[in-house]
Amino acid sequence: MSGCPYFEKRHLLFKNKPPTAEGEEDASQAGVNKASKGGIIYGEYLQLDKIVSAQVLQSELKGNKIHDEHLFIVTHQAYELWFKQILWELDSVRHIFITGCVRDERNMLKVNNRIHRIVMIFKLLVDQFSVLETMTALDFFDFREYLAPASGFQSLQFRILENKIGVPDNLRVPYNRRHYRDSFKGHDSEMLLATEQEPTLLKLVEEWLERTPGLEVDGFNFWERFEINIFDGLNKEKEQIEAMEDSEDKEEMMLELIKQKELFTSLFDEKRHDHLLSKGERRLSYKALQGALMIYFYREEPRFQVPFQLLTSLMDIDTLMTKWRYNHVCMVHRMIGSKAGTGGSSGYHYLRSTVSDRYKVFVDLFNLATFLVPRHWVPKLNPNIHKFLYMAEYCDSSYCSSEDSD
Amino acid sequence: MSGCPYFEKRHLLFKNKPPTAEGEEDASQAGVNKASKGGIIYGEYLQLDKIVSAQVLQSELKGNKIHDEHLFIVTHQAYELWFKQILWELDSVRHIFITGCVRDERNMLKVNNRIHRIVMIFKLLVDQFSVLETMTALDFFDFREYLAPASGFQSLQFRILENKIGVPDNLRVPYNRRHYRDSFKGHDSEMLLATEQEPTLLKLVEEWLERTPGLEVDGFNFWERFEINIFDGLNKEKEQIEAMEDSEDKEEMMLELIKQKELFTSLFDEKRHDHLLSKGERRLSYKALQGALMIYFYREEPRFQVPFQLLTSLMDIDTLMTKWRYNHVCMVHRMIGSKAGTGGSSGYHYLRSTVSDRYKVFVDLFNLATFLVPRHWVPKLNPNIHKFLYMAEYCDSSYCSSEDSD
Amino acid sequence: MSGCPYFEKRHLLFKNKPPTAEGEEDASQAGVNKASKGGIIYGEYLQLDKIVSAQVLQSELKGNKIHDEHLFIVTHQAYELWFKQILWELDSVRHIFITGCVRDERNMLKVNNRIHRIVMIFKLLVDQFSVLETMTALDFFDFREYLAPASGFQSLQFRILENKIGVPDNLRVPYNRRHYRDSFKGHDSEMLLATEQEPTLLKLVEEWLERTPGLEVDGFNFWERFEINIFDGLNKEKEQIEAMEDSEDKEEMMLELIKQKELFTSLFDEKRHDHLLSKGERRLSYKALQGALMIYFYREEPRFQVPFQLLTSLMDIDTLMTKWRYNHVCMVHRMIGSKAGTGGSSGYHYLRSTVSDRYKVFVDLFNLATFLVPRHWVPKLNPNIHKFLYMAEYCDSSYCSSEDSD
Amino acid sequence: MSGCPYFEKRHLLFKNKPPTAEGEEDASQAGVNKASKGGIIYGEYLQLDKIVSAQVLQSELKGNKIHDEHLFIVTHQAYELWFKQILWELDSVRHIFITGCVRDERNMLKVNNRIHRIVMIFKLLVDQFSVLETMTALDFFDFREYLAPASGFQSLQFRILENKIGVPDNLRVPYNRRHYRDSFKGHDSEMLLATEQEPTLLKLVEEWLERTPGLEVDGFNFWERFEINIFDGLNKEKEQIEAMEDSEDKEEMMLELIKQKELFTSLFDEKRHDHLLSKGERRLSYKALQGALMIYFYREEPRFQVPFQLLTSLMDIDTLMTKWRYNHVCMVHRMIGSKAGTGGSSGYHYLRSTVSDRYKVFVDLFNLATFLVPRHWVPKLNPNIHKFLYMAEYCDSSYCSSEDSD
């Protein structure tokens, strides 16, 4: 890897390593005396005294204990536990990108696994609604008055999560006509502001995509070749249609061809891209878009296999977050009809408006499907680039592979 | 409901009620000023300071932070949260049975819903393995040494749950050749002992089944009628077979008939039942078994509809607990191969032995399927009992319907 | 049950029964010679020659076999198999309603179980997307051109299913500016028209709800009592607020109260209801709405327990169909971006527009949650109605309980 | 790739390609006239006439139509549809291995994706039980007599699937004391025999693992280095323990160390491996085992990332098949208690015996977890092998990447 600017740091780490290594040997020995009285036990390890004592029913405090409030609390706590885990994975992945460790392609497996883990957690969170749905509207009505003004909208971790993935401030649906951050105070509000200013997963992926090997103008120059191939292909099609006898079919085909041409013309129009960017309809830079499309088409090349999986997982996250929002909407509709939420929001209608492509951070990865072409239009790899795609880049240091660094 | 022995208690409760009722009105007014600054907010309500700060990595404490330990902790905490919820539901259902409120058949819906909720939670818990399975054996190896001697076996809540449902002490697989309670100390051990002595869900369901209307010997006398019908049916079959010409088929059919006769003879043999009970192969009393079978056959009678659902849900719990155990086994096999567990148990092999019908508390409800007969062998309801099954029993007091009582 | 107009039919059935009964005995004997050569075997029973030979790849026919087309075919066939099963259950339930057998309350268990089975199938169908999602956009692109003009929109069974549940013709989103039935020809189109004219599940449930015991004006007269209680309650609240000292809080509470009063005034305004009905914003008759609300509030009364479950399951179906639609949208977005569908529809955008409350058939059951009130506002049952709700109605004939009838 | 012995074949293919390419262009034009009358429509494409007409109820044929039999048929048909899809994927993967195309590492993505798709299908099949479980024992009893002697055991596709994955004939649990193939006749029996003789997925994966780069004795020689490191590590531990003061702890640690030494001694004992192989307790050759362990330890090296995913997916298949078997057992227990199955098997008890590690084809991949060691015991890659693991092998021909070849 060109650069690898972590030499000194690494050096330092190496100096710190020995005791850890010792520690490891000690610990593996510690494994021997399992039966002994020392060491940590399950309940302490998990701090269960905190976890299973944190269910205080507001209804009970107010002298009218409602059985189902316990479920309501536990479900939300389970959500927050998993949000914490998602943030843990997200931060570690962002760290790998931010420190440049992503350039050592050995780290792609780790990045991919952790993003995939987020996917699996979101799947669970979508399924988790089935438990809360065992509570009926009437059961909820019995205690919902006690909850005001608490509201799921105030979940700090969820807002942080959105920010860190890359939901942009200006595309958020306003909440009761106010900025989303107004629902938070003091330290929480500052934390939110801070996360808005950190590099988002979207931004980091964008930078990484911009470096996709094969995009170099003085190298394989994918984008130019791709443009040439497409318009060649379209022109050949045009000729074939023109050679047909006049008919309704011919006319339709010609109209379709014109639409296709317009579509692809728009793809290669950087100004239009920037315009869509400014409106929030696209999110990735023009160059990153090119990198993503390149990975789509050449995904079977060894260097692109795991990156391709990564792009797929990023779409999975978007899809699952949107399904989570939609399941939430469905549950709220059943629970409170079209009434306002406990936080005083317009409830059902507010939530419904968030099930929108505005909240799909990686919307460009979906929309790229619009620009697929037959495989024989895809530029053939020349021997140089081909070989290149069989060789991963790496940084032969322990810095990036050490757990401490993320 | 004949008896309703809760009058005085109820009287007391009524005296206590008014302030609660006031409270309700106050609270509903409190709902009005949602926008005001007062009241509880989301994070406080859920005590998130406790919940999301309870993840302390042993590997980090020991100077070798391993990323995946966080997942390990969160997953187990989520399990414990849900175990708490299951216990909450289980206790409320047991309370309804213990206080006799189950005799007011209005409470059957509540009992059934709460048992069904436990089913839904167990479904989630089975699915939840998919998240922990994103951790590989090598990832786990990196920190498992730090966990000793903590072990999932030490989950107090899970053992309590087993006890309260009705896993009997003497059918438990020993753990490292020691009594399961030896893994717990002081207060925990006492709590476990206490739950062994409380009425289990199994015991309470048994008592309830023994009262199934229609079993009365001086009434419909289901069991005697059923026995008569079965042996009449089998005799008629025998005659038909005997009338056939000699053939291999005839022989086979006769052998099968003899097997059937033996099977049903065993069903009506109370001594044999008690023998199986003593060996743990049956768990319900002879009378309760009769009640269950009666509900199976007459499930469409209005009074039996929800009870039938309840029996089904009880089997669901057994099935899901056994699937949970099996999924656990599968995961452990992948994580540690055939090595010992962190607690020093024989790991995989210990867990595998718990995936056994010994741990199916309601095994009798499954095995009753062995004794099904053609519908026309089922005793016809006489008009009296028929009408009776259209009228539910109730106790027209607020005692049993008030939330405070459970 | 008053009426029971099936006597003669039943008589006829009884005459037909004996051979069946004989058949049963024969068949149970047939069970004896399992090892013998006769009888049906698995593959024939399931007609697997048809089922597993029905995968013909268009891409292969056109000389360019694409591996993933097989998955595409199998997935859609699995969907259609399950649609058939849903229709089977739906028809049997509709039959029980249409024939009046639903008046025999023994049949409620059957109705409820079958509706619940539809729920479970839809859950599976929602999950089933995870398999098709293993196909990427590029894989799909490789063969999608061969499929034109076939389109999922042409699924006859799905349209029938929508019709039979009760999606009304006039609320459907147009498909390419044309009536949905225009996509079907000949026999298929006629079948669709026919199903539009049959009684829908919505209609049948409506009629059943209108007969909810307790609604009788000359009896318990729930609706009038309910109206009185609500406005009494609101007035008491008003007095309490007026007694407060002037403050911002007081003002807010008063505003909230006025909103509440308007809300409930609208509930008791039959003309407004009919107006909403005509616009498709409500779907149930005024009386049926009253019945549903009554079941909500008195769900623990024995006669209402299973009906309450049924209402819940009907909402489940709506919710799952809408989730199915939404998952479909998500998949399509990933597969084809914002391009047109294979059938030439506007694809993603068309599908997205169907994820709408317009397609929620039982939307009223959700919206009733808007009209919940504190339990002490719910009219107390007088002794007569109370007892009545403990006695189910039935029709003591074998007609309605025989399988042949549905 | 050394060899690439497909040149001539490929040449031939190239000659055949042009018309296909033409076909593609035509087809993309065909896409234009979607609205026209020509082309295939949905129902024809999916051969729905076959699929949705293949539900013939035996109970109806025998004059006693039982509603739930339809569900039974549809569920099994859905299983068979998915089995077909699994076989489709399995055959394509086996083809890639058999033809040697797996040596072109571009194909690893395809192999991995298809194996992962099988995983996703099995997940669905495990979940699918939830639908059939809506049928109760009594409902099943009503028609199960009509099914004899059909039995799920006779599912040809499932047996083929087991054979192709690699369930060995001699480890199968006998079925009614007879060879499993005796349940099939004529063509089916021959097909089964044929699949027993084809290379199984297990065998193909074994061969592939044996070629893992880094195993070469005259190269990196992983196995020897690994053995040296382990025993060095264990000796160092021994010294540390010996240096401790005498205590109970010291004794325990020494005992544990001796156990560890025995464990690893067994790992490097090829004769013992062959003995375990002959007993069926191991399934992979000694060399393949080494390859798998190497991939475990160096999974982050670019060439090993996707292979590592593949090993994980193979375990997933084993796990899910075993869960499928277990869910089947649970359902059967509920349906028929401890009675015999429709095919005359011992039912529950037969099925339970198949939930065994005997049926885990890739059991070695699980058990390797037993042999994990601290990361610093893993041999460091020397610069040569390190670089090598960054360069994938490929065969730059279109043969292996063309769809026709699989």
Residue B404 sits at the chain C interface (C-beta within 8 Å): no
Spacing of C-alpha A158 from chain mean position: 13
Name the H helices within D248-285.
Answer: 248-267, 270-279
Whether the Cβ atoms of residue D135 and residue D72 lie closer than 8 Å to each other:
yes
Rounded Cα distance between D369 and B348, Å, is 12
| φ/ψ of residue D398, rounded to 5 | -85, -10
Q: In chain D, positions 280-339, which contact chain B (CB-CB < 8 Å)?
A: 296-297, 299, 312, 315, 319, 322-323, 326-327, 330, 333-339
C294 CA: distance to closest CA in chain A (Å)? 12
Asked if the Cβ–Cβ distance from A323 to C327 is below 8 Å, we say: yes
Of B152, D280, D334, D386, whose CA–CA distance to A393 is shortest? D386
A178 backbone dihedrals φ, ψ, rounded to 5°: -125, 160
Task: Give the up-direction half-sphere exposure of residue A328: CA atoms within 13 A in the CB hemisphere.
Answer: 23
Provide the residue type at C252 as one letter: E
Q: Over the range D190-204, which residues count as b (16 or more CB within 10 Å of their CB) and which as e?
A: eebeebbeeebbbbb
| Residue, of C153 and C71, whose pLDDT is higher | C71
**Nearest partner of A89 among B134, B128, B48, B67, judged by Cα:** B67
Rounded to whole angstroms, the Cα distance separating D39 from C149 reads: 6
- The answer to whether B97 and B294 have CB atoms below 8 angstroms apart is no
Least CA distance to B321: which residue of chain D? Answer: D330
Tokens of B386: 């028929």
The answer to whether B59 and C272 are in contact (CB under 8 A) is no
Rounded to whole angstroms, how far apart are CA atoms A106 and D298?
A: 10
Interface contact A28, partner D, CB < 8 A = yes
Contact A124 B128 (CB under 8 A): yes
- Is the sign of the CA dihedral D224, D230, D236, D242 positive or negative? negative
CB contact under 8 A, A372 and C138: yes
- Does residue C344 sit at the A interface (CB-CB below 8 Å)? no
B390 — contact with chain C (CB < 8 Å)?
yes
Most B CBs within 10 Å, among A20, A70, A84, to test the B interface: A84
Please answer whether residues D368 and D292 qualify as being in contact, where contact means their C-beta atoms are separated by less than 8 angstroms: yes
Give the integer Cα–Cα distance in Å for D249 and D252. Answer: 5
Is the distance from CB of A225 to CB of A379 less than 8 angstroms? Answer: yes
C355: chain A residues, CB-CB within 8 Å = 326
- φ, ψ at A232 (rounded to 5°): -60, -50
**Alpha-carbon distance C12 to C20, whole Å?**
13
Angle at CA of residue C22, ends C19 and C27, nearest 5°: 125
For helices D222-242 and A7-30, angle between their N-to-C axes, nearest 10 degrees: 60
* Cα torsion angle, D284, D286, D292, D293, sign: positive
Whether C113 and chain A come into contact, CB under 8 Å, resolves to no
Touching subunits of B (3+ CB pairs, under 8 Å) are A, C, D
* Model confidence pLDDT, tens digit, residues D55-69: 999 999 999 999 999
pLDDT at D144 over 80: yes
**Low-confidence residues of chain B, pLDDT below 50?**
1-36, 402-406
CA-nearest residue of chain C to D134? C117
Contacts of B77 in chain A (CB under 8 A): 46-48, 51, 81
- Smallest CA–CA distance, residue D175 to chain A, in Å, is 39
Angstrom distance (rounded) from CA C313 to CA C117: 9
* Dist. CA D397–CA D11, nearest whole Å: 10
D28 touches chain A (CB under 8 A): yes
pLDDT, greater one: C23 or D297: D297
D84 neighbourhood in chain C, CB within 8 Å: 52, 55, 74
From A23, A52, A63, residue closest to B62, measured CB to CB: A23
How far apart CA D150 and CA D72 sit, in angstroms, is 13
* Type of residue numbered A203: K
Residues of C in contact with A375 (CB under 8 A): 142
Chain B residues close to D266, C-beta within 8 Å = none
Write the DSSP symbol of residue C356.
S
Q: What is the average pLDDT value for chain C, to the nearest integer? A: 84
Rounded to 10 degrees, the C-alpha dihedral D178/D180/D183/D186 comes to -120
Helix (H) or strand (E) holding C109: helix C107-127
Q: How many CB atoms lie within 10 A of CB A380?
A: 9
Distance of alpha carbon A10 from its chain centroid, rounded? Answer: 30
Distance from C-alpha of D234 to C-alpha of D153, rounded to nearest angstrom: 50
Q: B196-237: per-residue pLDDT in tens?
A: 999 999 999 999 999 999 999 998 999 999 999 999 999 999
* CB contacts, 8 Å: C397 with chain B: none
Q: What residue in C sits closest to A341 (Cα-Cα)?
A: C370
pLDDT digits (tens, 9 = 90+) for C303-343: 999 999 999 999 999 999 999 999 998 998 999 887 655 55
User: What's the CA gap between B31 and B14, in Å, rounded?
Assistant: 26
Hey, what long-range contacts does B9-14 have (CB within 8 A, 24 or more apart)? B9/B399, B10/B397, B10/B398, B10/B399, B13/B398, B13/B399, B13/B402, B13/B404, B13/B405, B14/B398
Residue D245 per-residue DSSP state: P
pLDDT at D38 over 70: no
What residues pair up with C175 in beta bridges, in sequence order? C178
Q: Does D67 lie at the interface with C, CB-CB under 8 angstroms? A: yes
- Nearest chain C residue to A145 by CA: give it: C374
Q: How many residues are present in chain D? A: 406
User: In the block, which residue shows the tokens 């943030």?
Assistant: A87
Which amino acid makes up residue B221? N
Instruction: Find, among A316, A294, A320, the residue nearest to A307 by Cα.
Output: A294
What Å distances lie between residue D403 and C72, C139, D20, D112, CA to CA?
16, 11, 12, 16
- Per-residue DSSP letters for A105-123? TTHHHHHHHHHHHHHHHHH
Give one DSSP letter per residue of A22-41, joined into a string: HHHHHHHHHGGGTTSS-S--
Cβ of C367 within 8 Å of Cβ of A337? The answer is: yes
| Cβ separation D370–B338 shorter than 8 A | yes
User: Is residue C8 scored above 60 in pLDDT?
Assistant: no
Residue C398 to residue C404: CA distance in whole angstroms: 10
B368:D337 CB<8 A: yes
Predicted complex ipTM: 0.87
List all residues 6 or more positions away from B206 whose beta carbon is below 8 Å from its beta carbon.
B284, B285, B288
Cα gap D303→A109, rounded to integer Å: 11
Task: Say how far apart CA B387 and CA B384 lie, in whole Å.
Answer: 5
Maximum Cα interatomic distance, chain C, rounded to a whole number of Å: 92
Phi first, then psi: give them for residue D175, nearest 5 degrees. Answer: -115, 110
Distance separating alpha carbons of residues A135 and C248, to the nearest angstrom:
35
Tokens 């050490």 sit at which residue? Answer: A402
Instruction: Judge whether residue D127 has pLDDT over 50.
Output: yes
Instruction: Say whether residue B142 is in contact with chain D using an 8 A CB cutoff.
Output: yes
Q: Quick one: angle between helices A286-297 and A270-279, nearest 10? A: 110
Option in B36, B71, B76 nearest A46 (CB) = B76
Q: Are A386 and D392 in contact (CB < 8 Å)?
A: no
Q: Which residues, other chains included, contact C80 with Cβ-Cβ below 8 Å and sequence gap of 6+?
A: C155, C157, D46, D48, D51, D52
The DSSP-derived string for D157-191 is HHHHHHHHHT--GGGSPPBTTB-GGGGS-HHHHHH
Among A363, A367, A396, A381, which Cα is nearest to A205's?
A363
Per-residue pLDDT, C394? 63
- Bridge partner list, B178: B175
Q: How many residue pairs bridge chain B and chain D with CB atoms within 8 Å of each other?
A: 78
Cβ(D157)–Cβ(D84) under 8 Å?
yes
Judging contacts by C-beta atoms under 8 Å, the chain B residues touching residue C388 are none
Chain C residues within an 8 Å CB radius of A315? 334
| Residue C241 backbone class (left: φ over 0; alpha: ψ -120 to 50; beta: rest) | alpha
Separation in Å, CA of A250 to nearest CA in chain D? 9
- Return the pLDDT at C182: 85
Does B28 lie at the interface with C, CB-CB under 8 angstroms?
A: yes
User: B368 CB near a chain D CB, below 8 Å?
Assistant: yes
Residues in chain A with pLDDT values less than 70: 1-38, 176, 339-347, 394-406
* Distance between D393 CA and the closest CA of chain A, angstroms: 8
Smallest Cα–Cα separation from C214: which of C2, C395, C387, C3?
C387
Question: Residues A70, A72, A73, CA angle at the centre, nearest 5°?
Answer: 65
DSSP A50: H
Contact assignment for A249 to D396 by CB distance below 8 Å = no
